[in-house]
Amino acid sequence: MKSILNIIFAGVAFLLCLLIAIYTNSSIVLNAVLLAFFIQWVAFVPAYLFQTEKFYDLTGSLTYLTIIWFVYTTSNHIGGFNIANLIIVMLITIWAIRLGTFLFRRVHKDGEDKRFRTIKTSASQFFMTWTFQGMWVSICSMCAITAISSDTGLILNPLFYISLFLFLVGFSIEVIADYQKTVFRSVDGNRDNFISTGLWSKSQHPNYFGEILLWSAVALMSFSSLSGTQYLTLISPIFTYVLLVYISGVRMLDDMGNKKWGHLEEYKKYKESTPVLFPKL
What are 175-192's pLDDT values in tens digits?
999 999 999 988 888 878
Cα–Cα distance for residue pair 66/71, rounded to 1 Å: 9
> How many CB atoms lie under 10 A from the CB of residue 187?
9
- The closest alpha carbon to 91, from 186, 169, 188, 13, belongs to 169
- For the chain, domain boundaries: 2-273
Count of other CB atoms within 10 angstroms of residue 113: 17
Contacts of 58 by beta carbon, 8 Å cutoff, 6+ apart:
100, 101, 103, 104
pLDDT at 79 over 80: no
Query: Looking at residues 240-262, what average pLDDT do you find?
Result: 89
- Of 23-37, 43-57, 63-77, 108-122, give the lowest mean pLDDT range: 108-122
Q: Tell me the pTM.
A: 0.93
Percent of the chain with pLDDT over 90: 77
With CA atoms as reference, report the closest residue to 63 among 88, 99, 95, 96: 96
**HSE value, Cβ hemisphere, 13 Å, CA-based, for 221:** 34
